Structure 1
Amino acid sequence: MMLAERLTKRYGPATVVDDLSFTVRPGVVTGFLGPNGAGKSTTMRMMLGLTRPDSGTATVGVRPYRDLTYPLRHVGALLETSAPHRGMTAVGHLSWLARSNRIPRRRVDEMLDAVGLTGAARQRVGTFSLGMGQRLGLAAALLGDPPVLVLDEPVNGLDAEGIRWLRELLRAKAAEGRTVLVSSHLMAEMAQVADELIVISRGRLLAETSVSEFIGRHGRTFVRVRTPEPLRAAQEFQAQGAASVRRAADGGLEVDGLPAGEVNRIAAAAGVPVEELSTHTGSLEETFLKLVDDGGDPTHV
């Protein structure tokens, strides 16, 4: 488990993280979301002891990260700004990490194989592509077989196969009871891998909840209607209390503010033929953008 309690960080007059508290639980993948400049990277750096908070505390289990004797055996981390020396080889980089944390040497070869870098083990890091560098960073994070993973934008540079591999890996680690915190700007990918969400904006907590509860509470739910008489149908729905009726790109109608049964009743009473009628809930991306654009809901789920 990871715990942030009232973390605050200021740079001059700017408050980057503002009285932020949350819990990252074991056994689930927790997505860490926020717009650019929300304070996600600063928060992760405070969790890992790389940035000192002005106030508040961050702990891994019951201890701050800086108090861990062999940190790679407790926390595996990949931060967007971290990178090994360009002159080192992949095997050299992982080997010194293993030695410094008393990790068996065999883990170096195992992790190179796991991330698909065995053939590039003796290649200098400075010649790596973005995707290869990201795989090496993931190998370093996994090296100590840690119970906690903290990954900042881990899919950057990965191809489709690599993204799928990482998704399956994170789900498997959570299923083993490990604590997994992942930040990403790719909402479609986050929707597939995350069980729970921590959402921040301007350094403050907007939501701490499951993905389904987040979408259910903050998302847009509408009834989709296809009819050969969309204009008359829209007029009827609006007259009967629909909050809004929008025309979709394919000609269908999106009716907000009325349940599907009521939409069907109104159409039948007005003699409007209906070819399709279904209820839809907005995606994680749509819900996230709506919450951030609205300024956030101060009530934490």
Structure 2
Amino acid sequence: MKKILVTGANGQLGSELKVLSNNYPQFEWIFADRTQVSLDDLKVLQNQLEVISPNVILNCGAYTAVDKAETEQELVDVINHLAVGIIAQYAKDHSVKLIHISTDYVFDGTSSVALTEEALTKPVNVYGASKRAGELACLKANSDAIIIRTSWVYSRFGNNFVKTMQRLLQERDSIGVVNDQIGSPTYAADLAQALMDIVTAQEWMPGIYNYSNEGEISWYEFVLAIQEISGYICDVSGIPSSAYPRPARRPAYSLLDKSKIKKAYGISVPDYTESLKKCLNDIISDLPRPKE
């Protein structure tokens, strides 16, 4: 039985893969947290991989606190760059299939058209730079690896934009949301399914691929969609990024072109509204029921 190792098992994507793993009993699944696969400890990482001895690695683990990364550059580089190189080299040396998750933050946000995999990378913050360095380390060590760039990931699990906004829409009379950053959200459950479509495909086609849900929206429009689906009464207004300063700059435009992954693997990409409805339903069903 082939063994699939999922790093970052407690993150949004790792948690969705746990749910999805029930549909793939032909694999032995290893869901590794930061103690089992220590992306921040390069001295033990190699040995941990040897002990687990996987056939497939889905590298979902990363340092993702974008603002905090600005002041923890050394740690971010270890997790998002150097550890990726070690994993990629291990996969190369042991003929292991590797899918590494990257981000739209490798771009500077100055484009006005959907970004293809060949678009020029130019990160504008520490997190994005570390993820781009990780991509390069992965490709240098292992030309047979697959890299998936994704954006605006949310899920029923963990802390994310959708869950935060759902809470604020209930708690507040009004909220302001940035309206000049454009992209497309990614429901982690959809991305998890895309990963398994690749793992189980007849042909392994290495390289960089983009994946997010369909749709071109701002964060402000995303909140309006959450509000419309959920029915919360709240005054939502759009504000410029300059009115909401953050330690790390964000790319103003990072919409991903998904043509390559659709053509290569025949992967269907749902519209963001369709996936958002599914996730919100799951979030509501996860809430504790009131005592009778």
TM-score (norm. length: structure 1): 0.27
**Structure with a larger share of its residues in helix:** 2
